[in-house]
Chain A
Amino acid sequence: DAGVIQSPRHEVTEMGQEVTLRCKPISGHDYLFWYRQTMMRGLELLIYFNNNVPIDDSGMPEDRFSAKMPNASFSTLKIQPSEPRDSAVYFCASSFAGTGNEQFFGPGTRLTVL
């Protein structure tokens, strides 16, 4: 298995633009998590899904952020409009309830908003 796949790996955009980050979880996993990592705030959970259904979005910072999971093999995190303070590394992780709690992280997307 290739592991969790994220794209793009790097994104540089200008303030006000829409940004879409993509994630493909490990095949067979039923949980998907989106995290944001910054020096100031560390690893923050933004939202997570179970069987494609959003379970907890309490970490989504504001209405500019939205996430979808249209099927078991794909999820998106969208920021519209983007702001410089959104600059961070965004990680997607997945897990399978049947084998315990371990979350497997993707390589991350480094987002820079100018």
Chain B
Amino acid sequence: GENVEQHPSTLSVQEGDSAVIKCTYSDSASNYFPWYKQELGKRPQLIIDIRSNVGEKKDQRIAVTLNKTAKHFSLHITETQPEDSAVYFCAASEGTYKYIFGTGTRLKVLA
């Protein structure tokens, strides 16, 4: 089955700097890669996703890149703000509708 590894587990950046979180997956058949943001005590919420037929996707300050050959994908947050502080989870699809999640990255944006 699918295995997803996520790094780093914690990340601290100064406000205004960029943050990058990386994930690798094992199943070459995976074709959907969502990223979820979870604020303290809240539910995970989708912030961006990418499908295997696309190499990059951007939404304002957030972007995701996918390298199918190397089986890794990354989340990029530019111009970080204090409200970006949260735990971020990557996931890879196994089959059509099942996700395997990474272990999460706790991002702290320092004012």
User: What is A's interface to B at a CB cutoff of 8 Å?
Assistant: 31, 42-45, 48, 50, 56, 91, 95, 97, 101-108
Contacts and interface: CB of A to CB of B under 8 A. Distances in A.
Contact of B98 (A56, A97, A102): A56
8 contacts: A45-B98, A45-B99, A48-B98, A91-B43, A91-B44, A103-B99, A104-B46, A105-B45
Given A43-B89, A91-B43, A101 B101 contact: no
Contacts, number: 46
A32 B49 CA distance: 20
Q: Is the interface of A mostly helix, strand, loop or mixed?
A: strand
Contact of A105 (B44, B49, B93, B104): B44
B42 to A, nearest CB: 8
Interface of B: 32, 34, 36, 42-46, 49, 89, 93, 96-104
Contacts of B99: 45, 101, 103
A42 B43 contact: no
Contacts of B100: 45
A43 B97 contact: no
Given A45-B98, A50-B97, A56-B98, A101 B45 contact: no
B44 A101 contact: no
Contacts of B103: 42
